[in-house]
Chain A
Amino acid sequence: MADYDIPTLKEEIDRETVESVLALDVDKYKYGFETDIESDMAPKGLSEDTVRFISAKKNEPQWMLDWRLEAYRRFLTMTEPTWAKVHYPQIDLQDMYYYAAPKSSPAPKSLDEVDPALIAMYDKLGVPLKEREILAGVERPKVAVDAVMDSVSVVTTFREELAKVGIIFCSISEAIREYPELVQKYLASVVPVSDNYYATLNSAVFTDGSFVYIPKGVRCPMELSTYFRINEKKTGQFERTLIIAEADSYVSYLEGCTAPMRDEAQLHAAVVELVALDNAEIKYSTVQNWYPGDKDGKGGIYNFVTKRGDCRGVNSKISWTQVETGSAITWKYPSCILRGDGSRGEFYSIAISNGYQQVDSGTKMLHLGKNTSSRIIAKGIAAGFSDNTYRGQVSAHAKAKNARNFTQCDSLLIGDKCGAHTVPYIESRNGTAVFEHEATTSKISDDQMFYCQQRGLSEEDAVALIVNGFVRDVLQHLPMEFMVETQKLISISLEGSVG
């Protein structure tokens, strides 16, 4: 199952470039605090023992350990991609921890068992973990949360309520123990173990993440959400998320991430796999706000993420919406494999870079089935000395009769020391495919700035307002929860970008 033929995929990844990233002037990163929670850590470095340690910590069955070890052996044969222009300082995989767990209660049964310091931390992050409080608020839509700190899922809310309709929402570690048949059936069925260097590394050492299973015909009654937090020093975060939507089901899933400010760069190499069966729909939204590094070029998260959705069933639909504001380097291409006839993929993206941040992000829409369609709207905003690249691939295979794609990439430049690039790869092996691509690059003009300021807006407010206008088409696709947060995040991310 894992190795169906997508000939261009690997080549494509090899063409992807992430340039050097040194610094970013975001001293106001508001999630930069560190929480003092005792942790249980694996010995430093990457080895077979590390893999065994993680598997043992998670009480994994033998098949999972074997799977990891196989991935680890594959990983040893791979080399870090050196394709063009990658100048970021070497990441020393031996100088890093692969497992860190809050010591108190690795598997709390309920919120009452969770370390209060942890709850306080999530409160500080604005993540509502307390079910009672959420339930009390009448207006606030319900959101079930899985909170993952470092290597462990600390709490998942609303489980019982979801279980009533047959939905499974838990940590991937728990899913491996409790639902092995589902995990075995779907894990790595979208992102093969040896898909790329970081995905393979993830397969060997992933520590936690979320698992979602929506049964046939069920419309998930609330948003599901996972908050990822890197707290420990020198710790890589390798999370693994697997979402399965059975026939005629629907789910909307939100992912948020933050990390404390650290001098050293930290690695985040996640793998997310989505599977949508006949007529199912998955909506996956991310607000990525990992620490981007300080203004002197120290620290920051290297965000190397493989996200892929498989529209496996007929008329299935997967929609990715992402807001990328953090990280020193972002290397991320949430993609859709449009395998089922009539399936549809969507990608809506806002990528903001400031300081010396480097964003190389985009999507791949691989049309395999008949009458498949896809839509891409990407908004890149570059400020400071940053570089912001949209890289997207749209391809139609021989059997993809009547494949349709519409792509719109807009870049907005703030100042004249940043760069925005659009790199589309379009391939069609089918005469009936129609692919449209539109791209624009604009700047915030002095006249616009003056006009806004003449009305009393400060320079920063003016930029935020104009940028919010620029991203409006994409903002509309975010769930309410994230829309407001995103608007604030835009202002914070662009602070210091003018004047």
Chain B
Amino acid sequence: MTTPILEIRNLHARIEEREILKGVNLTIPAGQVHAIMGRNGSGKSTLSYVLAGKEDYEITEGEILLNGENILEMDPAERAVAGIFLAFQYPIEIPGVATMTFLKAAMNAQRKARGESELSTPDFMRAVKEAGAQLNIDSDMLKRPLNVGFSGGEKKRAEILQMALLKPALCVLDETDSGLDIDALQVVSKGVNALRDANRSMLVITHYQRLLNHIVPDVVHVFSDGRIVESGDKDLALQLEAKGYADFDATAA
């Protein structure tokens, strides 16, 4: 069997003495899209932050393997270079830094870390224009400071733009559909689907089954109280939509 892109084994994580992740097991083979659904506060964003290496969390047990390699010792930038991309639930504002400047800095930082040469300005511009057009992002938006004064939808599109340009091995999308109007949802989903690839895996966190009509997952997981309590195919999302989480909480207990 080929190595899965992501393998999480019995992951326990705490923040300030409080255990949030309580034994997560999750394997995503290359090319697959997995969705995670779960109540508010069940620990979905925490899982995404722990994957990306945010400092605030203490990992008390377990492993995270990316392409078979344990990444727990890596800092966030190293993980990014190794291929983890997190589309934030709440993208952060970077005042004074034009979106374009940020994109170039990020792309070149990753290239440099991989020992590749910096992108030439024309190559960079071409890549940004292409990816931006797909996501209805115009050059005016690219000149504005990243996320500053962006509408909810613009922020989410900017996240996907970064994802498209950085070409990660693992895309973690945390509620990328929240705050999107119907048209924007289409645009963003199209952007995400365009990135589906045999060598890339995705973890899509959402509260709404509707997103999964656009980005059709291979597997759906139900997250409850810091772990995965149920997994199934895309119909599981429909079931959840109809019945709510109560049944699964019982399983967890």
A→B interface (CB under 8 Å): 445-448, 450-459, 461, 465-466, 468-473
Contact = CB atoms under 8 A, between A and B. Distances in A.
Taking each of B55, B88, B94, which has the highest tally of chain A beta carbons within 10 Å of its own beta carbon? B94
Given A448-B94, A470-B96, A456 B109 contact: yes
B145 interface: yes
A465 B86 CA distance: 20
Contact of A452 (B53, B55, B94): B94
Given A451-B88, A453-B80, A457-B77, A466 B105 contact: no
Interface string B76-90: 110111000110100
Nearest to A448: B92
Interface in B102-119: 102, 105-106, 109-110, 113
A457 B109 contact: yes
Taking each of A445, A447, A465, A471, which has the highest tally of chain B beta carbons within 10 Å of its own beta carbon? A465
B92 A456 contact: no
A200 B109 CA distance: 50
A451 B97 CA distance: 13
A453 B76 contact: yes
Given A450-B76, A461-B109, A455 B92 contact: no
Contacts of A446: 55-56
B41 interface: no
A456 B52 CA distance: 11
Contacts of A451: 88, 91-92, 94
Contacts of B54: 450
What does DSSP make chain A's interface, helix, strand, loop or mixed?
helix
A454 B96 contact: no
A426 B75 CA distance: 48
B162 interface: yes
Interface string B119-162: 00000000000000000000000000100000000000000001
B166 interface: yes
Interface in B7-38: none
Contact of B81 (A445, A447, A456, A468): A456
B106 A469 contact: no
A465 B99 CA distance: 12
A54 B105 CA distance: 51
A470 B145 CA distance: 11
Contact of A455 (B95, B101, B109): B109
Nearest to B106: A455
Contact of B105 (A445, A450, A454, A465): A465
A457 B93 CA distance: 16
Interface string B46-73: 0000001111100000000000000000
19 contacts: A445-B92, A450-B55, A454-B53, A454-B79, A454-B85, A455-B80, A456-B106, A456-B109, A456-B166, A457-B105, A457-B109, A459-B77, A465-B102, A465-B105, A468-B97, A469-B96, A469-B97, A470-B95, A472-B97
A446 B76 CA distance: 12
Contacts of B97: 465-466, 468-469, 472
Contacts of B94: 448, 451-452, 465-466, 469
Given A446-B56, A454-B52, A456-B81, 14 more contacts: A446-B55, A450-B55, A450-B76, A453-B53, A453-B80, A454-B77, A454-B86, A459-B77, A461-B105, A465-B94, A465-B101, A465-B105, A466-B94, A470-B95
A459 B77 CA distance: 8
A465 B108 CA distance: 13
Contacts of B101: 465
A475 to B, nearest CB: 9
A471 to B, nearest CB: 7
Taking each of B101, B109, B162, which has the highest tally of chain A beta carbons within 10 Å of its own beta carbon? B109
Contacts of A473: 96
Taking each of B55, B79, B106, B110, which has the highest tally of chain A beta carbons within 10 Å of its own beta carbon? B106
A461 B105 CA distance: 9
Contacts of A470: 95-96
Contacts of B105: 457, 461, 465
A466 to B, nearest CB: 6
Contacts of A455: 80, 102, 106, 109-110, 162, 166
A374 to B, nearest CB: 23
A470 B97 CA distance: 8
B166 to A, nearest CB: 7
A458 B55 CA distance: 14
B77 A456 contact: yes
Contacts of A472: 96-97
Nearest to B165: A455
B174 to A, nearest CB: 12
A381 to B, nearest CB: 12
A131 B92 CA distance: 48
B145 A469 contact: yes
A468 B80 contact: no
Nearest to A452: B94
B12 to A, nearest CB: 21
Nearest to A445: B92
Contact of A454 (B56, B76, B113, B145): B76
Contacts of B102: 455, 465
B208 to A, nearest CB: 24
B92 A458 contact: no
A465 B56 CA distance: 23
Taking each of A446, A457, A459, A466, which has the highest tally of chain B beta carbons within 10 Å of its own beta carbon? A457
